[in-house]
């Protein structure tokens, strides 16, 4: 099978726009959580979220106009705008702008979303109710459906290879990168633009996820304290928004054009819990099998893993189950591994989470620094694994693993290695 | 320019994101102003909303230029 490497990175997150800006704030221990002010939250149980800082593009703020024309932004949900921005950043970073027919056909897109355009669906439902079907925009459907992130990216950059999308809730971003890597490994494409995007922060989503008892509701007056994975006071996740996109490339293709290579995707594992629609299986077996599959595919032993970017959403049940599954995987080598949850800083980006977190994992390999788990004051269980509480720390990382688990019991793990 | 023509122009500029100078009577939405077929559907919906008038599909098909829209609305709109 052909080797697959990462040659470009792009992201828009609650810590800002652009990989280097977000990474430096993440390492500094900044939080993207705040009280929601863009819509009414008085009657909602959860009144906080991690939202993208909008602006003119200076100081790492996100300026959508720099990526998508204003009149086109109006036609699509924000998740598509975030995806297009992150894809442009990643392609620029990879310096890959295919012009020939052959290069265009060898480059595909696989960007997913967990929910897609729920904000626009909410608005159009109100229009339908209040004004009738003749007022529903012709852009309503193509601006909301999930694969239009991949579609719009392909149109903007002339990418004529495989055009695909993943929809696996909070595992979407990791599945997208893993599946795209396989398309390259199998020879369906030489380059893939892969990742996830999500724009769920609205009244409907906050009401829905709160009804599932998934959101933090006890920290409305202290938003930056709310996402606290592994801490005994954690009470649910904090919703985030944004996109993460990578450029994946066949190794020889990247080498031949002298591309900068961040890391190699050496392992990808998938599993299903077959247990419950929203709760992880109590034995953590789905997570364990998924990581085991990724490690086996990578051809490494678990003791070679230096850093794990946890799914770690800050829900009471999920965090400890993942921790147990990781301990089971690592066995005696648990004491030398480090694992942190960057959701403590950026919240849970749902379908974008796995892609953004894969990028963070890749950056630990590049920079030898581990992002912290914020707010981990009192771990709810004892573990020999270093959970990188409060502050970033230096550590050489040759192999990193990133976990993502989603509603429906869908699990994905990625393993990346220094090249 | 009539009041109706001014309002039509404003809608076209907003929806198609074009320079106001380009929105002249003879300008064709698709050929001159960069609209696609979905844009023209949305434009017609915007005219219906602004002028509180229903534009049937067969009439909508004949509205291809700024002047077509102004003429149709001058004849059919009460607002």
Q: What is the CATH number of the domain that holds A390?
A: 3.40.47.10
- Mark whether A215 and A287 lie in a shared domain: no
Distance, in Å, from the CA atom of A151 to the CA atom of A25, rounded to the nearest integer, reads: 31
pLDDT at B79: 55
Catalytic residues of B: 36
Q: Could you give the count of Cα atoms lying within 13 Å of A126 in the half-sphere of its Cβ?
A: 6
- Extended strands (E) in A257-315: 263-272, 307-309
Query: A340 and A388: one domain?
Result: yes
CB within 8 Å: B17 and A138: no
A357 and A208 part of one domain: no
Looking at the fold, whether A272 and A233 belong to one and the same domain comes out as no
Question: In terms of domains, do A140 and A289 share one?
Answer: no
Fill in the DSSP letter of residue A50. Answer: E
What is the per-residue pLDDT for A332?
95
Name the residue range of residue A215's domain: 4-263
Q: How many helices (H) and strands (E) does chain A have?
A: 13, 15
Query: Of the candidates A263, A279, A302, which is a domain's last residue?
Result: A263
Task: Specify whether A124 is located in the same domain as A57.
Answer: yes
A3, A261 contact by CB (below 8 A): no
Which residue in chain A is spatially nearest to B41 when comparing CA positions?
Answer: A138
Q: Who contacts B10 (Cβ-Cβ below 8 Å, separation ≥6)?
A: none
Confidence of residue B77 (pLDDT cuts 50, 70, 90): confident
The answer to whether B38 contacts A69, with C-beta atoms less than 8 Å apart, is: no
**Cα–Cα–Cα angle for A52, A246, A174, nearest 5°?**
85
Of A213, A237, A263, the residue at which a domain comes to its end is A263
Q: How many C-alpha atoms does A231 have within 13 Å on its Cβ side?
A: 24
* Bridge partners of residue A356, in order along the sequence: none
Q: Are residues A255 and A304 in the same domain?
A: no
Looking up residue B21, the CATH number of its domain turns out to be 1.10.1200.10
Q: What residue ranges in A185-297 does DSSP mark as E strands? A: 191-198, 242-250, 263-272
Q: Which residues of A touch B41 (CB under 8 A)?
A: 138
Strand duo A16-17 + A4-13: pairing: antiparallel
DSSP A51: -
Distance of alpha carbon B63 from the chain centroid = 7
Residues of chain A with pLDDT under 70: none
Read off the DSSP letter of residue A185: H
Same domain, A111 and A188: yes
Instruction: Count structural domains, chain B.
Output: 1
* Active-site choice (A46, A50, A105, A170): A170
Q: What is the pLDDT of residue A152?
A: 98
What is the rounded (10 degree) CA torsion for A373, A366, A60, A205? -50
The answer to whether the CB atoms of B49 and A135 lie below 8 A apart is yes
Which pLDDT belongs to residue B1?
63
Backbone angles phi, psi at A335, to 5 degrees: -65, -20
Q: Do A71 and B54 touch (CB under 8 A)?
A: no
Contacts of B54 in chain A (CB under 8 A): 134
Say whether A86 sits in a helix, a strand or coil.
helix
CA nearest to B13 within chain A? A71
**Stretch 5-64 of chain B: residues touching chain A, C-beta under 8 Å:** 15-17, 38, 41-42, 45, 48-49, 54
Q: What pLDDT is attached to residue B2?
A: 83
Distance between B16 CA and the closest CA of chain A, angstroms:
7
**Which chain B residues are within 8 Å of A65, Cβ to Cβ?**
none
H/E element, A237: none
Yes or no, beta carbons of A142 and B38 under 8 Å apart:
yes
Q: Are residues A199 and A244 in the same domain?
A: yes
What is the sign of the dihedral through the CA atoms of B59, B60, B63 and B69? positive
The residues facing A269 across adjacent strands are A413
Contacts of A195 (CB under 8 A, 6+ apart): A10, A83, A86, A87, A90, A111, A112, A173, A176, A177, A243, A244, A245, A246, A352, A355
Residue A379, sorted as left (phi over 0), alpha (psi -120 to 50) or beta, turns out to be: beta
A212 is a catalytic site residue: no
Residue B17: per-residue pLDDT:
92
**Residues ≥6 apart with Cβ < 8 Å to A238:** A33, A48, A49, A50, A215, A216, A223, A226, A227, A314, A343, A347, A348
Gap from B8 CA to chain A (nearest CA, Å): 17
pLDDT tens for B55-64 read: 999 999 999 9
The complex's ipTM works out to 0.89
* CB neighbourhood size of B57 (10 A): 8
**Domain's final residue, options A245, A263, A281:** A263
Mutation target vs A (from B36, B40, B45, B47; most A CBs, 10 A cutoff): B45
Q: Dump pLDDT digits (tens) for A366-382.
A: 999 999 999 999 999 99
Instruction: Give me the mean pLDDT over the B12-21 stretch.
Output: 95
Binary contact (B17, A71; C-beta < 8 A): yes
Angstrom distance (rounded) from CA A349 to CA A236: 14
B1/A contact by beta carbon, under 8 A = no
* Residue ranges of A 35-94 with Cβ closer than 8 A to chain B: 69-71
Question: What does the angle CA B20 – CA B21 – CA B26 come to, to the nearest 5 degrees?
Answer: 105
A57 Cα to chain B: minimum distance (Å): 22
The tally of domains found in chain A comes to 2
Alpha-carbon torsion, ordered A121, A123, A126, A127, to 10 deg: -100
Range of the domain at B32: 3-76
């Amino acid at each position: 099978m052909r080797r697959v490497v990462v040659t470009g990175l792009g992201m828009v997150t609650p810590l800002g726009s652009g990989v280097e800006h977000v990474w430096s704030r993440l390492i500094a221990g900044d939080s993207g959580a705040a009280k929601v002010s863009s819509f009414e939250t008085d009657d909602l149980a959860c009144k906080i979220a991690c939202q993208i800082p909008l602006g003119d593009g200076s100081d790492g703020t996100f300026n959508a106009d720099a990526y998508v024309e204003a009149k086109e932004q109006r036609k699509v949900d924000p998740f598509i705008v975030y995806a297009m921005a992150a894809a442009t950043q990643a392609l620029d970073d990879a310096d890959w702008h295919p012009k020939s027919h052959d290069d265009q056909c060898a480059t595909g897109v696989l960007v997913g979303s967990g929910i897609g355009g729920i904000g626009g669906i909410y608005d159009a439902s109100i229009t339908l109710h209040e004004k009738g079907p003749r007022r529903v925009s012709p852009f309503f459907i193509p601006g909301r459906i999930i694969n239009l992130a991949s579609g719009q990216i392909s149109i903007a950059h002339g990418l004529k290879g495989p055009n695909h999308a993943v929809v696996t809730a909070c595992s979407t971003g990791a599945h997208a990168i893993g599946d795209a890597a396989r398309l390259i490994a199998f020879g369906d494409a030489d380059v893939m633009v892969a990742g996830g995007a999500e724009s769920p922060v609205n009244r409907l989503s906050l009401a829905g996820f709160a009804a599932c008892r998934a959101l933090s509701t006890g920290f409305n007056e202290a938003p930056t304290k709310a996402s606290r994975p592994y801490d005994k006071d954690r009470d649910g996740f904090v919703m985030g928004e944004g996109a993460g996109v990578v450029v994946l490339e066949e190794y020889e293709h990247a080498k031949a054009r002298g591309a900068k290579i961040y890391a190699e995707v050496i392992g990808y594992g998938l599993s299903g819990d077959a247990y419950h629609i929203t709760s992880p299986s109590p034995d953590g077996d789905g997570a364990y099998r998924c990581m085991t599959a990724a490690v086996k595919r990578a051809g490494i032993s678990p003791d070679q893993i230096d850093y794990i970017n946890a799914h770690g959403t800050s829900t009471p049940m999920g965090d400890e189950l993942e921790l147990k599954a990781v301990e089971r995987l690592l066995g005696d080598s648990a004491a030398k591994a480090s694992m942190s949850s960057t959701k403590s800083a950026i919240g849970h980006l749902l379908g974008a989470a796995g892609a953004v977190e894969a990028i963070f994992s890749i950056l630990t390999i590049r920079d030898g620094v581990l992002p912290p788990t914020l707010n981990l004051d009192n771990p709810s269980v004892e573990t020999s694994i270093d959970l990188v509480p409060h502050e970033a720390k230096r550590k050489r990382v040759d192999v990193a693993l990133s976990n993502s688990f989603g509603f429906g019991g869908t699990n994905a793990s990625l393993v990346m290695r220094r090249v | 320019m009539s009041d109706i023509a001014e309002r039509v122009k404003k809608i076209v500029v907003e929806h198609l994101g074009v320079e106001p100078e380009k929105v002249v009577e003879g300008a064709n939405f698709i050929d001159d102003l960069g609209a696609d077929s979905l844009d023209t559907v949305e434009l017609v919906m915007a005219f219906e909303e602004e002028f509180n008038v229903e534009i049937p599909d067969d009439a909508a098909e004949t509205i291809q230029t700024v002047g077509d829209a102004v003429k149709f609305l001058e004849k059919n709109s009460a607002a």
